[in-house]
Amino acid sequence: MGRERAQRESWGTRFGFLMAAAGSAVGLGNIWRFPYLTGENGGSAFIIIYLICIAIVGLSIMIAEFAVGRRTSLSAVGAYKSQNRSWTFAGVLGVISGFFIMGFYPVVGGWSLAYMLKSVTGLLALPEATADVFGAFISAPIEPLIWTIIFMALNIAIVAKGVAGGIEKASKVLMPTLFVLLIIIIFEGVSLSGSGAGLTYLFKPDWSQVTGETVLAALGQSFFTLSLGMGCMLTYGSYLSKKENIPVSALAIVVMDTAVAIMSGLAIFPALFAFGMEPATGPGLVFVVVPAIFAQMGNVGPVISLLFFAALTVAALTSSMSLLEVVVAYLIDEKEMDRKHATYLSSLVITIMCVFSSLSMGQMSGIKLFGVGFFDFFDILTDKIFLAIGGMLLTIFVGWFMKKEDLKNELTNDGTVAFGFFEVWYNLVKYVIPVVIAVVAVMGIAAVEQRNLMLFGLFMIILLGVFSKKL
């Protein structure tokens, strides 16, 4: 196998690893998806459930993924396979999730790139028209496709360069920029008159809106936003040095990710209420509300808007790189391809999927798979089912198929660093989390609109499981 031939790549520095892992976590999930999910699910109550999912399930699974990755020094499929062949399917499910997320993610990345240019070419001239502008843009046949392709080209250029030279180097500059920009936007939004209602919406829970679907949405989002349940953090862990403190790193990444999500909420909702817009606007939310804020800012508006969409693009890029890396690492480790060929081949397939997703917003909106268009097909299948089930499989694998001693050694660097919560973590992973995910999944699937799509997803997973040894 490839791993015996060549020395495995690794991160250059601790800061570089943290920025790359945080870069993977912080992405469209935080700035684009978190606000609109909050808007669709009634605000504060959703946020509270989401925070509980992050603290209990998300953090534990991130620690588990890093531990498995570093212990095996292999990417998703190889890591499972090396321990137990019957588990190969869980790794393959991860690679499929990565592929499917990449089937729509770069489309949104392309929108963001396009909005950089639009910021300075008249988008902000008519604040009341931002919704129409967005609708017309994403449903056009050619323009969004061109931007998606440019976005993919950036991914290819970085991932082909490898772990330390590409992914790590880019993340170290791009991530801090994002933080600064968000802070500027929050100040602008909160200072608008009428913004107080947005703060109430964000921080005062209305529990009457909560259903099984809300909880599944919050759980799915906690996986998506932390890049969990598909072997991404596992793969990043496989490039991690034995000296790194896994629990502390995981905590730092979770805190950064959560901070950006809450900051995005603060950037959007106060302004949204100040402008009298609707919270449940769906996927167009950032692209509609944020430009409207900038339009109020006079001459500096276009510049700040350009910077904001640049930061969003960057956040999207550091995440999509990591998604692409899961697929690429699989081809390198398991199919013995070299990095460049693996990157080109997977990107070609991904770009074709994105063409369908993008066209499903307009030209091809009539074509439905299980009642939804291509974009939603990839999005719902991964976010609402594959990631959560992938996370559940990982916890079962770690809790029941790995040795407790090995895990303890991995998480304490052979006893050289302390991990006081080891027992708590272990019991959560072994008993609590698998049950919680199973219950939420059943409740959620029962409540969700696209039930056939969900059942199809479950069927795919079962099929993979049955043929696991052949994979």
Could you tell me which of 271, 226, 224 has the C-alpha nearest to residue 250?
A: 226
Cα separations in angstroms, 135 against 107, 108, 145, 282, 314 = 14, 13, 15, 12, 23
Does residue 198 sit in helix, strand or coil? helix
Q: Which of 3, 17, 18, 30 binds ligand PHE (CB under 6 A)?
A: 30
Kindly state whether residue 227 participates in binding ligand PHE, applying the rule CB under 6 A: yes
- Our finding on whether 230 is near ligand PHE (CB under 6 A) is yes
Whole-number minimum distance, CB 172 to ligand PHE, in Å? 18
Maximal CA-CA distance, the chain: 63
Is residue 101 part of the contact set for ligand PHE (CB under 6 A)? yes
Rounded CA gap, 303 and 330, in Å? 41
Strand partners, 372: 369
CA 397 to chain centre: 22
Near ligand PHE by CB under 6 A: residue from 319, 347, 357, 358: 319
Candidate segments 2-10, 27-35, 207-215, 391-399, binder of ligand PHE by CB under 6 A = 27-35
- In the complex, minimum distance from the CB of residue 412 to ligand PHE, in angstroms, rounded to a whole number: 27
Q: Tell me how far, at minimum, the Cβ of 457 lies from ligand PHE, in Å.
A: 16
CB of 408 to ligand PHE, least distance (A): 27
> Could you say which of 19, 45, 185, 232 contacts ligand PHE (CB under 6 A)?
232
State the Cα angle at 389 between 367 and 31, rounded to 5°.
65
Q: Can you tell me which of 323, 342, 385, 454 binds ligand PHE, judged by CB under 6 A? A: 323
Helices (H), 191-231: 196-203, 212-225
For residues 143 and 118, give the distance between their C-alpha atoms in angstroms, rounded to a whole number. Answer: 12
Q: Which is nearer to ligand PHE, 232 or 290 (CB)?
A: 232
Query: Residue 322's closest CA among 234, 221, 214, 208?
Result: 234
**# residues contacting ligand PHE (CB under 6 A):** 15
Q: What share of the chain is helix, strand, coil (3-state, %, to 5)?
A: 80, 0, 20
CB-nearer residue toward ligand PHE: 65 or 410: 65
How far apart are CB 41 and ligand PHE at their closest, in Å?
Answer: 17
Q: Which residue is nearest to ligand PHE (CB)?
A: 29
What the block records as the tokens of 320 is 């999509």
Binders of ligand PHE among 205-224, rule CB under 6 A? 224
Say whether residue 258 binds ligand PHE (CB under 6 A): no
Q: Which is nearer to ligand PHE, 50 or 275 (CB)?
A: 50
* Closest alpha carbon to 62 in 354, 371, 394, 372: 394
**Contact positions toward ligand PHE, by CB under 6 A?**
24-25, 27-30, 101, 224-225, 227, 230, 232, 319, 322-323
